[in-house]
Structures are given as C-alpha cells and as structure tokens.
Amino acid sequence: MNDVSPFTETTATARYAGFTSLIESGPVRKVTLFTGVPVWLITRHAEARQALAHPDIVKSITEFPHQDHVPADLLAAMNTHMLMANPPDHTRLRKLVSAVFTRRRIETFEPRIKQISAALLDSLDGSPVDLVSEYAYPLPITVICELIGVPALQCDEFRRLSQIAINGPVYSAETYVDAATEMVGLMRDMITQRRARPQQDLLSELITVRDGGDKLTDDELTSMMVLLLVAGHETTVNLIATGMYNLLSHPSQLDKLRADRSLVPSAVEELLRYDGPAMVTIPAKTNAPVRIGDVTIPAGEVVLPTLSSANRDPRRFSSPDQLDITRDDNQHMAFGHGIHHCLGAPLARLEARVAVNDLLDRFPRPRLANPADEPERYPSLLINGITRLDVLID
C-alpha cells in the first residue's frame, strides 16, 4: 500500500474506514504518504504510546514537508520550540514556557472566554448558520490572540497564515515559505513593540521569564509564538466544530447531555477520542534501531504515530466506533503522550466545555440543516476538520 488514503478522504465515513483498515493491517507498517514521504505508521494504541515515549524516537524538523525550501534563519525562527526539541533542550524550553502558560492562568481567563462566546452567539443572525465560520473559528482565535497579545485587527491575518503553516503538505513550497516569512515578520514586530512597552499578556511575560540566568532567545520567542498561535487555535476550532457535528448527529447522546450538563467534561473527552482534531503527531525519526511491537524499525527512519486510529483501537476501547459521552475508561491520546503531551490541552478542554455549554444554553434545540449529508473534511496530514457545518438554531 503506497498511498495512505485516510488523510485525503473528505468524509468521516471514508476517513475512519481507512483508519480501521490500518488498525486491522497491523500495528506498524511502512507506507508512502500522499506527500511522497516514506514513513512507518504506528496505528494501534499500545504501540503508539510506546513510540511516543521511546527515547530513540526523536523530533526532526527536516522530516516535515517543504523544510528543505525554507531559509536557515527562517527555519530557526519558526521551529526552535519545545514541540520540535529533544531533551535536554526540550526540558529547558518547557520549564521556561510552563512558568508563564500555567493552568491557573488559563482558569482565570474563563470569564473572558465566556464573554467572547456570548458575544459570538449574540451575533448569530438567521438560520441555518455555519457553525464553523460563525462560532468554532472565531472563539479560539480570539481567545489565543488576546492571551498572547495579538492586536484584534491582526487576528484574521494570523488565522490565514496559521492555516497554511499547519497544513503545509497540501500547499506548494512557495506558498508555505511566503506564509512563514510573513508570520515571522509579524511576530518580530510584536516582540520589538513589547520590549519597548510591556503589557499584561503572554508575549510580554515570555520575553521576561527567566530560570536563573536563562531566558528565551529571539528565535525561541518567535517559534513559541508561532506554536502557541497555530496549535492554540487550529486544534480547538476543529474540536468544537467536529464535536458539535458528532453531538448533533447522535441525538440520543445530545439528549443525554442536554438533560445532565455535569456530563460535559466526559463528553468533551469522548469527542476528543471519537473524532479528535489531530490525526497524527509531528513526525519523528529513529536515531537507533527501535523495536515497536514485533517490528524493528531501522535507524534513520521517519515514524508517525497515528492518533486517530489509536483512539479507535478495539484492543483498548470497547465499541470504539460508538460515541458514548458517559465512557469511563477513556485514556485517549488526542493530545499526544509522553514529554510532548500538549501543553495547551487545559485551554482546549476549557474552551470546548464553554462552547458546548453556552451553545446549548442559548439554543437548546440545535439541529443539522442537512442531516443526510456528511460535512466535507479538508485533506491534511495533521489536522482533522470540517469545512462547514450548517445548523438550525431557531
């Protein structure tokens, strides 16, 4: 099997049929992706956890599409962050950023998230509405821009650039490099402004945070800004959008949630498992022969744990293709595993809980405008998302 179809399928039915086929074909297999890159896919839950925690499977930016076209200075300004780093650099970076991007800081932002959500719901006019463009997209991008300190007038521009950055494989190298150049330029301008006039935002604190005599370099600052902005909204957009679609297309689950709002946290976890926003992790590479399951992957090979298939592995989850918002044993890997477990997971969970609660408070009986049609999924290697979701809210 040379081309792995789940990533380019445009419906959930076809995409998850492809992931099921991958699970059934074995936990480790070598394929050539639609990008033309040969990789070892890790498709099952136990083996994916093993790969994500293995010390000889390390991050390597050179395995990401288009990186050979990116000038060295731009590459450093985009990718000198903890998601692309290995110990001890990863340990140092995560410690510095964690000192600023804390769970407490996120929790104190909840009232503002609810204000943004309420304003967006107030602005919904008419029915049906496209829940993606009118709610699922603007909520997370506004939240992360305000947290970081991005001016409101630049949010749409950063949103456009981040979509290219995170979906690089489906764009040309020229488009990707142009977007990266523009994004880094905007970041550098913001850093210069905050150094001159610090404010009460995440960027100002990232500039000043220190661990003894250590602090973030200029490339680390721009890279962390890119990571926080791109990962901080793209994944949450699709968690909210696909999550609402799956609730609306499973009326019995929606009725159960409507009747008992205490189920919202477990519902969010199940939505993450069932149809999570990240299909795979960032590609990694073996720096020595690595045995995963009963397969030995040679040194120097690209390894790609596949979260979407691992989260539907019947060896780990009972009835994995059923949506069950009361599922108790739900150790999904939607946010990864090991040292690279997503630092922004608490923020994504909080935004999803607010979004679901607020939407059902305002519109208790939302319905799919076209229940017989599956929303279109856009092709991507990393992100699992829908392009549009028409919902009746009257």
Instruction: Give the model's confidence band at 347: pLDDT under 50 very low, under 70 low, under 90 confident, else very high.
Output: very high
Structure tokens at 273: 């498992």
Beta strand pairing status for 38-42 and 302-305?
parallel
In 3-state terms, what secondary structure has residue 305?
Answer: strand
User: Among 316, 227, 233, which residue's Cα sits nearest to residue 273?
Assistant: 316
For 294-334, write each residue's pLDDT tens digit.
Answer: 999 999 999 999 999 999 999 999 999 999 999 999 999 99
What pTM was estimated for this model as a whole?
0.92
Q: How does residue 262 score in pLDDT terms, banded at 50, 70 and 90?
A: very high
**Residue appearing with tokens 């506004």:** 142
Please compute the mean of the pLDDT values over residues 74-85 and round it to a whole number: 88
* 1 has a pLDDT exceeding 50: no
85 three-class SS: coil
**By C-alpha distance, which of 326, 385, 357 is closest to 113?**
357
121: tokens are: 């719901």
Place of tokens 């994504």: 348
pLDDT of residue 394: 77
Place 358 in a pLDDT band, splitting at 50, 70 and 90: very high
Each residue's pLDDT tens digit, 52-69: 999 999 987 665 666 677
CA separation, residue 323 to residues 14, 158, 249 (Å): 17, 34, 10
CA 357, CA 104: separation in Å to the nearest integer? 21
What average pLDDT does range 209-238 have in this prediction?
87
Q: State how far Cα 303 lies from the chain centre.
A: 19
Identify the pLDDT of residue 9.
Answer: 93
pLDDT of residue 328: 92
Which pLDDT value is given to residue 134?
A: 95
Tell me the range of 60-64, 70-74, 354-358 where mean pLDDT is highest: 354-358
Q: What are the distances in angstroms from CA 351 to CA 61, 117, 223, 237, 296? A: 30, 9, 24, 9, 40
Q: How high is the mean pLDDT of the chain?
A: 91
Residues 6+ apart with CB under 8 A from 383: 166, 167, 234, 235, 238, 277, 278, 279
* Per-residue pLDDT tens over the stretch 280-294: 998 899 999 999 999
The answer to whether residue 37 scores a pLDDT higher than 50 is: yes
Task: Give, for 390, the enclosing helix (H) or strand (E).
Answer: strand 390-392
Please say whether the beta carbons of 51 and 77 come within 8 A.
no
In degrees, rounded to 5, the angle at the alpha carbon of residue 175 between the alpha carbons of residues 171 and 177 is 115
List CB contacts of 227: < 8 A, sequence separation 6 or more.
81, 82, 83
More confident residue, 252 or 155: 252
H-helix segments, 26-88: 45-52, 72-79
173-196 and 155-166 helices, crossing angle to 10°: 140
User: How confident is the model over 151-171, as pLDDT tens digits?
Assistant: 888 888 888 888 787 776 677
Summarize the confidence of residues 120-148 as an average pLDDT: 92
Please return the burial class of 196, using the count of CB atoms within 10 Å of its CB with bins 0-12, 13-18 and 19+: exposed
What tokens were used for 297? 């992957």
In the predicted model, what is the mean pLDDT of residues 357-372?
Answer: 94
38-50 confidence digits (pLDDT tens): 999 999 999 999 9
Mean predicted confidence (pLDDT) in 15-30: 93
Report all structural domains of the chain as residue ranges with CATH numbers, in order of start: 5-392 (1.10.630.10)
Chain Cα centroid distance, residue 360: 24
Helices (H), 276-328: 307-310
pLDDT score, position 62: 60
Q: Tell me if 44 sits within 8 A of 315, measured CB to CB.
A: yes
Q: Which one has a higher pLDDT value, 150 or 286? A: 286
